Amino acid sequence: MLSLNAFLLVSGLLFAIGFFGVLLRRNTLVIFMSLELMLNAAILALVAFSRFNGIMDGNLFVFFIITVAAAEIAVGLAIIVALFRKRQTVMVEQLNSLRH
């Protein structure tokens, strides 16, 4: 059986990938996917902890996180679509009319 550390490593990697995806990718949709990846990293760690620590709260928490993520996606995609209609672009460097 895999050790807890293995799960945590994967989770940490996923989190880092997600974070650097947000940091480096230019397409808003991809950034958005990276954000979800970070949430998934948390979910994975949560489940792993829950399993290895023998405390079920974490499993329960996961359902809430999934729900929250779904809501976030729904709203987020709506904003991105509306913005694309308005500006004809979803690239972050072109979305900087609000500055200074």
Partner 1 sequence: MEGLSTLATVLLLVPLASAAVITLFFRRSGKAAEWVSVVAAGIIMVLAFVLIFAWSGSGSLTASIPWLVLGDFRIEMGFLFNAEAATMLAVVGFIGFFIHLFSIGYMDDDPAQGRFFAGLSIFMFSMLGIVLADNLFMLFIFWELVGFSSYMLIAHYWDKDFASAASKKAFVVNRVGDFGFLIGIVWAYHYFGTANISEMSALVASGEKDVVTGIGLLLMCGFVGKSAQLPLQVWLTDAMAGPTPVSALIHAATMVAAGIYFMVRIFGILSPFTLDWILWSGAIMTTFAGICALGQDDIKKSLAYSTLAHLGYMATAIGLGFPGLAIMHMAMHACFKATLFLCSGSVIHACHHEQNMFKMGGLLRRMPITGIAFLIASLSISAVPFTAGYYSKDTIIASAWGLFANGSGGEYLGAYILTVLGALFTALYMGRMFFVVFLGKPNSEKAAKARESSVWMTLPLIVLGWVLSLGAGWFVQPGLDGSWLGGAMTSLLPTHAVEFMVQGFGNDGWKAAHAVYEASGAGWVEWLNLACVLAGFAFTFFYYGRGPSADRLEVNHPAVFQAVERHGWFDDLYDWYVAKVQQRFADILGFLDIFLIAGLLVRGAAGVAGLTGTLLRSLQVGSVHSYVYWFLIGIVFFWIFAAT
Partner 2 sequence: MNLEAFQKIAASNLWGNLLPEIYLVALCLLLLVFEMVFRRQDLLLLFRVALWGQVLLLVLMGLSYFGGFPSGREELFGGLLVQTPLTETMRLFFLFGSLLVSYLGTRFLRARNLARTEFFAITLLVTAALMLLVQSNQFVLLFVALETVTVGFYVLVAYARTSGYSLEAGLKYLIMGALSSGLLLFGIVLLYGVAGSPDLAGAVGDPLHFPSLAQFIAAHPDNTLVLAGSLLVLSGIAFKVGAVPFQIWIPDVYQGAPTPVSAFLAVSSKAAGIIVLLTLVTGPFAALSGWTIPLISTVAVLTILYGNLTALPQRNVKRIMGLSGIAHAGYLLMGVVAAMTVDWAVGAIVFYLFTYLLASFGVFGVMALLSEGQDADQELDHYEDLAKRQPLLAAALTVGLASLAGIPPLGGFIGKLVLFIAAFQAGLYTLLAFSVVGVVLSIYYYFGWVREAVFRVWRSAEGAGSATPALPEPRSLTGLDRTALVGLSVLTLILGVAPFVLTWFLQL
Binding positions for partner 1, rule: CB under 8 A: 19, 22-24, 26, 31, 92-93, 95-100
Q: What number of CA atoms fall less than 13 Å from residue 7's CA on the CB side?
A: 16
Q: How far apart are CA 67 and CA 71, in angstroms?
A: 6
> Which two three-digit tokens encode residue 99?
């500055």
Q: Which is nearer to partner 2, 9 or 60 (CB)?
A: 60
Q: Which one among 9, 13, 29, 55 touches partner 2, defined by CB under 8 A? A: 55
Residue 24 interacts, among partner 2, partner 1, none and using kind-specific CB cut-offs from 5 to 8 Å, with partner 1
14 close to 35: Cβ distance less than 8 angstroms: no
Q: Which is nearer to partner 1, 9 or 24 (CB)?
A: 24
